[in-house]
Amino acid sequence: MNELQMNQNDGHGDGQPPNKVFCSECGHGMSPKAPNCPSCGAPNSAAMEPVSQKSMVPAALLCFFLGTFGIHRFYVGKIITGILMILTLGGLGIWVLINFVMIIVGSFRDKDGLPLRR
Ligand SMILES: [Zn+2]
């Protein structure tokens, strides 16, 4: 009778409440505040922890070209280990390589422990 009734969300149907997000892995609906998908356990991208102001791409480039001088560590604010990296020539390249991989896979963090922005 009254089509406007459609606007009232009954929790089923296609009317998706705005306070619901869908798992990028399995499409399961969940609360935006849920840290993980209750269905498959994938991390909820909408509830991701705050990210760093620094971005992954420049960090990766700096690490690749200037990693021996710890420039990527200065970039994310890790001054002390940046200096340490200069003194050790990037751990003779090994430390730089490890950092580069960490940046690429997204496990490199800034001085506040926040993951780099993608
Ligand atoms: Zn899922």
Beta-carbon neighbours within 5 Å of ion ligand 1: 23, 25-26, 28, 37, 39-40, 42
Do 42 and 60 lie in one domain? The reply is no
Closest to 59 (Cα-Cα) out of 114, 3, 4: 114
Radius of gyration for the chain, computed over Cα atoms and rounded to the nearest angstrom: 21
Tell me the pTM.
0.59
Do 116 and 59 meet the contact criterion of CB atoms below 8 Å apart?
yes
Q: Are residues 74 and 41 in the same domain?
A: no
Asked if residue 92 is part of any domain, the answer here is yes
Q: Cα of 44 to ligand 1 centre, how many Å?
A: 8
How many domains are there within the chain? 2
Res 98: pLDDT: 96
pLDDT classification of 16: cutoffs 50, 70, 90: very low
Asked whether residue 114 is assigned to any structural domain, the reply reads no
Structural domain includes residue 21: yes
- Per residue in 68-86, pLDDT tens? 999 999 999 999 999 999 9
**What domain range includes position 40?**
1-47
- Model confidence at 50: pLDDT above 90: no
Model pLDDT for residues 56-71, shown as the tens digit of each residue: 999 999 999 999 999 9
